[in-house]
């Protein structure tokens, strides 16, 4: 078997073993995070929540998520992904099911805070884990497949939640309570599956043929040595590096679309495209994220073939901004909706390049902390962007101005992506650290 054939066969086995489980876990995580929006249709009245109280409670998830994300990822890097990801999933599944027990504003806020703390570190933990298994030339596709889970969760999550809500009154339990219990249990069960089937390191992969396992370990070791250069990188150096900070700013701006627009998408569609029924709105809401699945897969392949992470981040974001402006100018109708959907797909397609870039110039615990910081900054959008869109919409009477605000964020993200390029080249941070040490030996 040639080296090329060995590489293809090894990575085929790694992908087949790891990615299906990881994608399913991410789908469940995304549904558990967002199913409260469907539950609110009857929960708010049942437990006496006003719209303002509900909005405050929902945002509390992001408070503890941001606080605990970096510590969680550092622990994961030190004790191993298998045990820590299993812990995350089991604890968030239990807490998510406990949402069925909330009785008012205070208990609602407390459980949302606990849910954010329980889930903190899952996404950056998986990103770090994938970098431990996929060489640079395969990493873009791996990141793209992982984020497909988020898009698929948006496509399938609402219909599933709506179906569970129809269990209202079964065994004298409200439909919104069944929703939290039924959708929380899969996370607990998957936690034990992760504990059984996930493997921490390639060298421990008894399910890989010896020759393939040796090739993968040696390939990843060579790449790590090239990145580390002359000196290992500390967590503090990683968190303060311009590359990490620019990628964090990029991901925050990107989240105007992925968090802000996603949470408002059904209302944007009903408010700006002919007032379709709730059922038609749900179907139309799935279209942009179905396109996102296709776009992420295609762009991920380009990243693996050509590298150039900054360009693969900037071009989709600029295209997203242009199409979003075009959607506003086109107004209600097929063209306006098509441009909105294409804009969403384009924005999401930049994610594989982002994480490929973040894992190209850091390794080890420093990479775990850097990835967690990038993801934490993005989640601040959960606290800031969603209310901003609501305020602008109320002030202007339509979603045109909020969509233009999101388009502006996409253009800024494209500029930040290009600025990040010189600071995220493989080995750049290690080289800078070594050079600084030579200038200042003390």
Same domain assignment for residues 331 and 435: yes
Same domain assignment for residues 285 and 197: no
Same domain assignment for residues 244 and 264: yes
Model pLDDT, residue 80:
87
Model pLDDT, residue 274:
62
Is the CB of residue 355 less than 8 Å from the CB of residue 309? no
Domain boundary among 173, 205, 229: 229
| Domain ranges, residue 315 | 232-441
Same domain assignment for residues 6 and 147: yes
pLDDT in tens, 234-271: 667 767 778 888 988 999 999 888 777 776 777 677 76
Number of domain units in the chain: 2
Is the CB of residue 247 less than 8 Å from the CB of residue 354? yes
Same domain assignment for residues 12 and 127: yes
pLDDT in tens, 92-128: 999 999 999 999 889 999 999 999 899 888 888 888 8
Domain boundary among 229, 252, 283: 229
Query: How big is the chain, counted in residues?
Result: 442
Same domain assignment for residues 196 and 250: no
Burial class (CB in 10 A: 0-12, 13-18, 19+), 47: middle
Same domain assignment for residues 326 and 216: no
Same domain assignment for residues 197 and 246: no
Burial class (CB in 10 A: 0-12, 13-18, 19+), 384: middle
Same domain assignment for residues 242 and 184: no
Same domain assignment for residues 38 and 186: yes
Q: Where are the beta strands (DSSP E) in 50-184?
A: none
CA distance 110 to 125: 25
CA distance 206 to 191: 21
pLDDT in tens, 115-164: 989 988 888 888 888 888 988 788 777 877 887 777 777 777 767 777 78
Same domain assignment for residues 216 and 159: yes
Same domain assignment for residues 65 and 6: yes
Token representation of residue 78? 């030190």
Domain boundary among 208, 229, 250: 229
CA distance 275 to 332: 10
CATH number of the domain that 182 lies in?
1.20.1250.20
**What is the model's pTM?**
0.73
Sequence-distant (≥ 6) Cβ neighbours of residue 273 within 8 angstroms: 284, 332, 333, 336, 337
Is the CB of residue 139 less than 8 Å from the CB of residue 304? yes
């Amino acid at each position: 078997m040639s080296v090329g054939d060995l590489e293809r066969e090894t990575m085929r086995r790694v992908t087949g073993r790891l990615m299906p489980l990881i994608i399913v876990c991410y789908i469940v995580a995304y549904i558990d995070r967002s199913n409260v929006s469907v539950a609110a249709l009857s929960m708010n009245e049942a437990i006496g929540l006003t719209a303002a109280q509900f909005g405050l409670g929902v945002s509390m998830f992001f408070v503890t998520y941001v606080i605990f994300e970096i510590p969680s990822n550092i622990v994961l890097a030190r004790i191993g992904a298998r045990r820590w990801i299993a812990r995350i999933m089991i604890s968030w599944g239990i807490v998510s099911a406990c949402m069925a027990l909330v009785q008012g504003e205070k208990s609602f806020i407390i459980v949302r805070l606990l849910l954010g703390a329980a889930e903190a570190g899952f996404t950056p933990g998986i990103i770090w884990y994938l970098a431990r298994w996929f060489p640079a030339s395969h990493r873009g596709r791996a990141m793209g497949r992982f984020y497909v889970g988020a898009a698929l969760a948006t496509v399938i999550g609402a219909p599933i939640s709506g179906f569970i809500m129809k269990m209202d009154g079964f065994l004298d339990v409200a439909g919104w309570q069944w929703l939290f219990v039924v959708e929380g249990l899969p996370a607990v069960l998957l936690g034990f599956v992760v504990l059984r089937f996930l493997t921490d390191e390639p060298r421990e992969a008894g399910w890989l043929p010896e020759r393939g396992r040796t090739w993968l370990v040696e390939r990843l070791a060579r790449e790590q040595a090239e990145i580390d250069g002359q000196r290992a990188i500390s967590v503090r150096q990683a968190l303060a590096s311009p590359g990490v900070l620019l990628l964090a700013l990029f991901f925050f701006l990107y989240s105007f679309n992925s968090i802000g627009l996603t949470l408002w998408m059904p209302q944007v569609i009903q408010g700006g495209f002919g007032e379709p029924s709730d059922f038609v709105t749900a179907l139309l809401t799935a279209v942009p994220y179905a396109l996102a699945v296709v776009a992420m897969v295609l762009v991920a392949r380009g990243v693996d073939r050509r590298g150039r992470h900054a360009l693969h981040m900037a071009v989709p974001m600029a295209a997203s901004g242009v199409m979003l402006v075009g959607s506003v100018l086109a107004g209600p109708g097929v063209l306006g909706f098509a441009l909105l959907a294409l804009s969403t797909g384009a924005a999401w397609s930049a994610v594989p390049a982002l994480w490929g870039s973040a894992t190209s110039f850091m390794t080890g615990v420093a990479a775990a902390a850097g990835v967690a910081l990038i993801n934490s900054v993005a989640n601040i959008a959960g606290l800031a962007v969603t209310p901003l869109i609501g305020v602008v919409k109320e002030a202007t009477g339509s979603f045109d101005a909020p969509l233009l605000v999101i388009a502006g964020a996409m253009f800024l993200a494209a500029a930040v992506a290009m600025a990040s390029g010189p600071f995220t080249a493989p080995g750049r941070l290690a080289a800078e650290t070594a050079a600084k040490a030579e200038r200042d030996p003390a």
